[in-house]
Structure 1
């Protein structure tokens, strides 16, 4: 019996000593990131006559760990979104300040109003030109800042994808070590900690689904089900970045037209998957950067392009609105398209027999526009866009429009009207016309300043397409990137009197043109594209140029505030998940100290049993 007691107490001392060692290890790593508390699981020997150290395991709560990774990916997404939205908002300036977007637009309109008071004042003319130049440089500067942000995100995506790919390889390597290790080895817990920490770090970049395997390894999948890690094999992530981005550089699933980088995964078998085209990445910094680069900042660019186009065409275009007409039982509209230029869209409202309404946009071209034309590049992305070749001149307008509209419509010249006036009729019982409108650019060139009326090409396109902006699609959309190319007409800069003189015999002090320009910005309602997102993306927005500029800066501020609020809420959620995980799987020094006292008591008890057994043996030997 004394020998059994001696063996049992010796084993108990060994188990207690190992448990004390684990307590020491836990306390030492209480502040180590990714460390999970260890516990010793002793087992009884044969017949419950003794004890053995058994295995060392981690007190891991899989549910709280899964939630922690989910919130980590979400916090990375909202954090980057809030940061970039704040940087974007700062580009527009403090609303109401003289240097902000709305401030410079208001100053410009005020300078035109001052010119209406004294058109003969050289100082007022110079001030108006200077204010116009400030507007152009401000809009162009903000637009360039938008592209700089996109370029920065393109660069960040390259770094994030490379880091994520390295983590996948690391996780696959740890899978191999864990699968080949004995569960009784202390080092297995360390390997599991390393792998969990690697997956947690990976969650900063993209959201992954983790599935435990029977051999101790894990499988990682994207949200769409694409396999990133399978046992000891890992996919390789790559990003084909494009360097400096321009407004024309946008994402497309078609590699031949894609102007930005995409994230691809190459499986061990050699298959390549475009993770962006398949929507495989939905959270984390990579998803946030993609969304900002391809959606948020592209929409910001479109807002600025629309504002630049509004500034230009409000001053240079005349509105053409159809008047009701009928003949031979057909109804429709007469509309004066005299002077129509490529890009001066003619919008027809149509309604079918079922009562469904839609816009039909006739897009004038000189034969070099793409066909089809993307409706998203027009004011109404839901419209049917039909190119109309007007290169033959005004006398061909009616025939060309009739040819593209086809059966069901009758198109002729307006009786008694000019060569460019047309009458468009349809059977009201079929596809009925509900409206007709156009915006016709009056100046034919930047030097055409004496148009005989108020219209003036004050703002022009200073890029490769230098000249009057008409919204043309010749060689591609002239709208895209127009904000960067916005400039004051050199002819006006060289001769500020063109702000007043609209004809060779303009009377001194004539306020007609200054008043027209002022009203065009502050009173005339224009249609701005639905793609700008101002007030929603389901329909075009009607507003004055000044009102649209104010809406743009208001929308930017609201978006930045919303992104900040979302991030604050997500950070709270992340903090809660971290606290929950730390409570369930982390090290509590107080608990470890309490455990140490218990182990000390057990150690002392086993030592006393060992001492008693030794004394009994000594006594027996002396008999």
Structure 2
């Protein structure tokens, strides 16, 4: 081999070593970067001016595991859904209060029962009658606060849906733009690995909101479909429209058209249910919170309030009341029928006849809500009966516990306990989903950039660089010698 060929060969090796060191250094620097795919240098042999041989850095390819990425994204969606659902149930549980919560509904019912028992022992005491009225008002306020909180959680979910959908629309637009940029870069013969990293990071950002399937096209672009086959991006990005609610009350439902669902190209899309286009992920959990979980808790709370109103309006309890007249607890001043009206818990009110601030009298708690004349101050019969109504098991007529024989306190405890059990199961599911997502993420990272391997590669490229540099030094020395002859 001539000196010139040797020099060219050494220079090509020097360039390859430099490029390889750059690639390995880039891998190490981006080991923790989201969406980064490990770079691999692909050297190729080449002839140099028809004589001698060398090497060149033909291409730098991006190395990823599509299957691991797909599995991790689906796990992200499951984890996002489970975490959002668990948080919703925790908040709903907080609205009703736990059995050991001094400010919860069960504690307020116990306080009212104790106040009635104390007043029955001293029916002539205005102070004890005032305590009864205060306990009843606190219970009414507790129902109203729980109902308000439930509806606030529905509105919070609706607001979060707006944010998620806006994020999906923005991400899809950005991904479509990156697709276009990749097409242009490929047409110019430029490297597209950095653009591909950016696209993967954008897609990963969508993974928790809705489960995604990514399909690679031959031209370097990708298409995105939901798990149930709805096209989010295939050429052009889908744009989801959603109308936010200004206020939500117990009677508003999506089924009745009072609350919005996503719309794309004039088609209304469901996000809940096994075959819904947008099923899975945080988006489904938020719709579930707004349209299923919170309304169910509201219905259970309304059923508890309905039982309370019914029992205190029983004809045999207060002889002064006409048939069908409301008792101590009312639906905004009125009685209730056989069915539970939506939002009753938020409208629960004390009978004005027992409230001095509403031109009523405390003595009505002792003598009867509709008594024409005051009764004996020492007669605690009605107060004792009211206390017994709270503690005596009676058949529940509406709600999830219909047909069972429960006291008001037991019915409240069952309502709260059922929700607590749901919250506990959801928390366990969320923990399992998070662990699985984390494990798949770790497995993906282990198959990505290995910094130990990359550092070893750097050492090898350093040796290659030194060897080729030495060849160049030797060839240079030989040229000097020849020139001196």
CA distance in 2, matches of 1:554, 1:94: 8
Q: Which moved more, 1:487-496 or 1:271-280?
A: 271-280
Q: 5+ unaligned residues in a row in structure 2: which ranges? A: none
- Does structure 1 retain, via aligned residues, the 8 Å contact 2:325–2:335? no
TM-aligned CA deviation for residue 455 of structure 1:
8.6
Match in the other structure for 2:337: 470
After superposition, the C-alpha distances for 1:191-224 in whole angstroms (9 at most, x for unaligned) are: 1100000000011221111111111111111122
Is the aligned partner of 1:609 residue 2:471? yes
- Does structure 2 retain, via aligned residues, the 8 Å contact 1:44–1:50? yes
**CA 170–275 in structure 1, closer or farther in 2 if over 3 Å, else same:** farther
CA distance in 1, matches of 2:467, 2:91: 66
Which of 281, 292, 297 in structure 1 is aligned with 2:294? 297
Give the secondary structure class of the aligned counterpart of 2:367.
coil
TM-aligned CA deviation for residue 618 of structure 1:
5.4
- Does structure 1 retain, via aligned residues, the 8 Å contact 2:321–2:327? no
CA distance in 2, matches of 1:454, 1:145: 31
TM-aligned CA deviation for residue 59 of structure 1:
2.1
TM-aligned CA deviation for residue 183 of structure 1:
9.2
Match in the other structure for 2:198: 194
Match in the other structure for 2:305: 308
Match in the other structure for 1:52: 56
Match in the other structure for 1:259: 258
Which of 238, 248, 251 in structure 1 is aligned with 2:251? 248
Q: Which moved more, 1:88-97 or 1:102-111?
A: 88-97
Q: Which moved more, 1:140-149 or 1:89-98?
A: 89-98
**CA 524–512 in structure 1, closer or farther in 2 if over 3 Å, else same:** farther
Q: 5+ unaligned residues in a row in structure 1: which ranges? A: 320-441, 444-448, 473-477
- Does structure 1 retain, via aligned residues, the 8 Å contact 2:395–2:403? no
- Does structure 2 retain, via aligned residues, the 8 Å contact 1:154–1:243? no
CA distance in 1, matches of 2:137, 2:117: 17
CA distance in 2, matches of 1:97, 1:612: 86
TM-aligned CA deviation for residue 620 of structure 1:
5.9
Higher helix share: 2
CA distance in 2, matches of 1:542, 1:618: 109
TM-aligned CA deviation for residue 55 of structure 1:
1.1
CA distance in 2, matches of 1:5, 1:92: 84
Which of 569, 575, 578 in structure 1 is aligned with 2:432? 569
Match in the other structure for 2:183: 179
CA distance in 1, matches of 2:324, 2:159: 47
Match in the other structure for 1:286: 283
TM-aligned CA deviation for residue 613 of structure 1:
4.0
Which of 485, 494, 502 in structure 1 is aligned with 2:347? 485
What is the TM-score normalised by the length of structure 2?
A: 0.89
- Does structure 1 retain, via aligned residues, the 8 Å contact 2:262–2:269? yes
Whose relative contact order is higher, 1 or 2, with alpha carbons under 8 Å and at least 6 apart?
2
Match in the other structure for 1:408: none
CA distance in 1, matches of 2:403, 2:207: 39
Which of 535, 551, 569 in structure 1 is aligned with 2:414? 551
After superposition, the C-alpha distances for 1:244-292 in whole angstroms (9 at most, x for unaligned) are: 111111121xxxx2222212223xxxx5342437612222221111111
Question: Which structure 2 residues correspond to residues 140-151 of structure 1 after superposition, within 5 A?
Answer: 140-151=144-155
Match in the other structure for 1:89: 93
- Does structure 1 retain, via aligned residues, the 8 Å contact 2:331–2:349? yes
- Does structure 2 retain, via aligned residues, the 8 Å contact 1:34–1:194? yes
TM-aligned CA deviation for residue 21 of structure 1:
1.3
What is the TM-score normalised by the length of structure 1?
A: 0.70
Higher strand share: 1
Give the secondary structure class of the aligned counterpart of 2:419.
helix
Match in the other structure for 2:34: 33
After superposition, the C-alpha distances for 1:392-416 in whole angstroms (9 at most, x for unaligned) are: xxxxxxxxxxxxxxxxxxxxxxxxx
Give the secondary structure class of the aligned counterpart of 2:229.
coil
Match in the other structure for 1:438: none
- Aligned-residue CA RMSD in angstroms? 2.8
CA distance in 2, matches of 1:18, 1:313: 83
Question: Which structure 2 residues correspond to residues 93-242 of structure 1 after superposition, within 5 A?
Answer: 93-182=97-186, 187-231=191-235, 233-242=236-245
Match in the other structure for 2:458: 596
Match in the other structure for 2:82: 78
- Does structure 2 retain, via aligned residues, the 8 Å contact 1:454–1:513? no
Give the secondary structure class of the aligned counterpart of 1:236.
coil
Number of residue pairs the alignment of both structures matches? 472
TM-aligned CA deviation for residue 471 of structure 1:
4.4
**CA 487–218 in structure 1, closer or farther in 2 if over 3 Å, else same:** same
CA distance in 2, matches of 1:452, 1:524: 24
Match in the other structure for 2:396: 527
Is the aligned partner of 1:513 residue 2:375? no
CA distance in 2, matches of 1:240, 1:454: 43
